[in-house]
Amino acid sequence: MPAGTSTVLTGIGELTTWAPDRPVLADAALVVEAGHVAWVGPRAEVPAADTAYDVGGRAVVPGFVDSHSHLVFAGERSAEFTARMAGEAYAAGGIRTTVRATRAATDEQLTSHVARLVAEMRRQGTTTVEIKSGYGLTVADEARSLAVAAQFTDETTFLGAHVVPEGSTPEEYVALVTGPMLAAAAPHARWVDAFCERGAFDADQARAVLAAGADAGLRGRLHANQLGPGPGVRLACELGLVAVDHCTYLDDADVSALRDSGTIATLLPGVEFSTRQPYPDARSLLDAGVRVAIASDCNPGSCFTSSVPFCLALAVREMGMTPTEALHAATAMGAAALGREDVGHLGVGARADLAVLDAPGHAHLAYRPGVPLVAETWVAGRPA
Ligand code: NIG
Ligand code: FE
């Protein structure tokens, strides 16, 4: 690791910054000072820096911003996956299996499990991750899930409204989520989320959860239209939420609402891979003027991948995105889906979060699926 107050990364074969004038530069250099990008431009014009690090012609991209994950859990559900691959349908009820395992785990077990998954993400180029609760579903278990998540990220999301737990009626449980559970969760959370889907929470219940969360100072996001058509996407747009996630089953009114509201559609193609559902039509969304993000949804039920590069490959192969659109969706748009401007790009002033690829260009992320191309991940100007 080069030490010093400023570091120049030079010999960058292809540098993706997303700066409006030159989003992708060939034969470039980048200067880091105090953890932030201080200069980007052609290698021939690079200013002096305290230390230099030659990346040897490899590509550098912004670190991935994974705006949707459920990392706080115990146990695993590979038997469900195996059954799905043999023809079973995905069912949200499987969430309760993970709830039982999570409640039985110690704080230390949960923390070390999240640490392992975050490290897995880092190795694959993710530098910002959102982490949800949602496998505790009691006041104490939701609060401790968020306290664990907050050790790893500022982007913590209270998802008490994941499913109605065994032994509660929906009415009782929504009252708990919007009352004592929210009060215990809010000090550890930035966001509030609900699973608005048949078999989970309806639009009125999701609206009540988001409204109570807003009163407690939490910004809203929503799981919607994952397992079938429904009112969730339009609710998110009506409320002006920054993002609505899954968006697998959309009709024309949903697409118009997304376009008109500017609410980001966060697509999670690892879920369709792991549940054998149809992929969302990213191409049509982009062509309609909808803002699209890509995230992993890493969770033990519907999609147990921590790999954004894998999701990018799916987005390109299965959802009609170009490699550049897919990378933009998992960096700049992931950041936008978290209301962040300091990450997701490598323009001057951004946090120097980046991935060095063992590849000459970012298209290789989709072109070489399954290959560990992320050679180095840097967070705030340092190898992580
Ligand atoms: O985002 N949709 C709801 N929640 C997760 C799946 C949770 C689970 O199956 O454990 C998701 O897909
Ligand atoms: Fe999810």
Asked whether 226 lines ligand 1 (CB < 6 A), one says yes
At residue 162, what is the residue type? Answer: H
d(CA 152, CA 113): 12
Report the percent of the chain where pLDDT is more than 90.
98
Out of 66, 90, 195, mutate this one to test ligand 1's pocket (max ligand atoms within 8 Å of CB): namely 195
Cβ 300 vs Cβ 98: under 8 Å: yes
Does the Cβ of 376 fall within 6 Å of ligand 1? Answer: no
Q: Which residue has the tokens 């699973």?
A: 195
Residue located nearest, by CA, to atom 6 of ligand 1: 302
Select from 3.40.50.1400, 3.90.550.10, 3.20.20.140, 1.10.10.10 the CATH code of 64-337: 3.20.20.140
Residues 272, 296: contact at Cβ < 8 Å?
A: no
C-beta 271 within 6 A of ligand 1? yes
Query: Which residues hold their Cβ within 5 A of ligand 2, which is an ion?
Result: 297
Q: Where are the alpha helices (DSSP H) in the chain?
A: 78-85, 95-104, 107-123, 139-149, 170-176, 182-185, 203-215, 232-238, 252-261, 269-275, 282-287, 308-319, 323-330, 332-337, 364-367
Neighbours of 165 (CB within 10 A): 18
Among residues 3, 25, 11, 64, which one has the least CA distance to residue 347? 25
What are the pLDDT digits (tens) for 158-203?
A: 999 999 999 999 999 999 999 999 999 999 999 999 999 999 999 9
**Ligand 1 neighbourhood includes 98 CB (under 6 angstroms):** yes
CA distance 238 to 263: 9
Tell me what pLDDT residue 4 has: 60
Tell which residue, 223, 365, 217, has the closest CA to residue 301: 223
Most informative mutation of 302, 304, 305, 311 for ligand 1 (most atoms within 8 A of CB): 302
Q: In this structure, which residue's CA is closest to atom 11 in ligand 1?
A: 302
Mean pLDDT by 10 residues, the chain (384 residues): 77 97 96 98 95 97 99 98 97 94 98 98 98 98 98 98 97 98 98 97 98 98 98 98 98 98 99 98 98 98 98 98 98 99 98 98 98 98 96
pLDDT tens digits for 60-106? 999 999 999 999 999 999 999 999 999 999 998 899 999 999 999 99
Residue 95 CB–ligand 1 contact under 6 Å: yes
pLDDT tens digits, one per residue of 322-335? 999 999 999 999 99
Residues with Cβ within 8 Å of 358's Cβ and at least 6 positions away in sequence, in order, are 58, 372, 373, 374, 375
Establish whether domains 6-63+344-383 and 64-337 are of one fold: no
Return left, alpha or beta for 223; rule: phi > 0 is left, psi -120 to 50 is alpha, else beta. Answer: beta
Residue to mutate (ligand 1; options 137, 162, 197; most atoms within 8 A of CB): 162
> 142 and 187 in contact (C-beta within 8 Å)?
no
Return the H-helix or E-strand segment holding 355.
strand 354-357
Look up residue 261 and give its two tokens.
């509201």
* Single-letter amino acid code for the residue at 21: D
What residue owns the CA closest to ligand 1's atom 9?
301
Q: Which residues contact 106 (CB under 8 A, 6 or more apart)?
A: none
Binding residues: 68, 70, 77, 135, 162, 223, 226, 297, 299, 301-302
Best of 66, 77, 78, 95 to mutate for ligand 1, by most ligand atoms within 8 A of CB? 95
Three-class DSSP category at 366: helix
Topology of the domain comprising 6-63+344-383: Urease, subunit C; domain 1 (2.30.40)
Overall pTM > 0.95: yes
* Residue 17 Cα to ligand 1 middle (Å): 32
pLDDT at 93: 86
pLDDT of 1 reads: 42
Q: Separation of 342 CA from ligand 2 center, angstroms? A: 24
Length of the chain in terms of residues written: 384
CB 234: neighbour CB atoms within 10 A? 22
Span from the CA of 92 to the centroid of ligand 1 (angstroms): 7
195: Cβ below 6 Å to ligand 1? Answer: yes
Q: What does the domain layout of the chain look like in residue ranges? A: 6-63+344-383, 64-337
CA distances from 91 to 99, 204, 220, 249, 276 (A): 15, 22, 25, 16, 12
Q: Does residue 94's CB lie within 6 angstroms of at least one atom of ligand 1? A: yes
Q: How far is CA 190 from CA 109, 125, 146, 239, in A?
A: 24, 23, 10, 17
The number of C-alpha atoms within 13 Å of 352 and in the hemisphere containing its C-beta is 24
Residues 197 and 233: their CA atoms lie apart, in Å, by 10
Strand 191-196 vs strand 156-161: parallel, antiparallel, or unpaired? parallel
The half-sphere exposure of 7 on its side-chain side, counting CA atoms within 13 A, is 19
- Binding residue ranges for Fe(3+): 68, 70, 223, 297
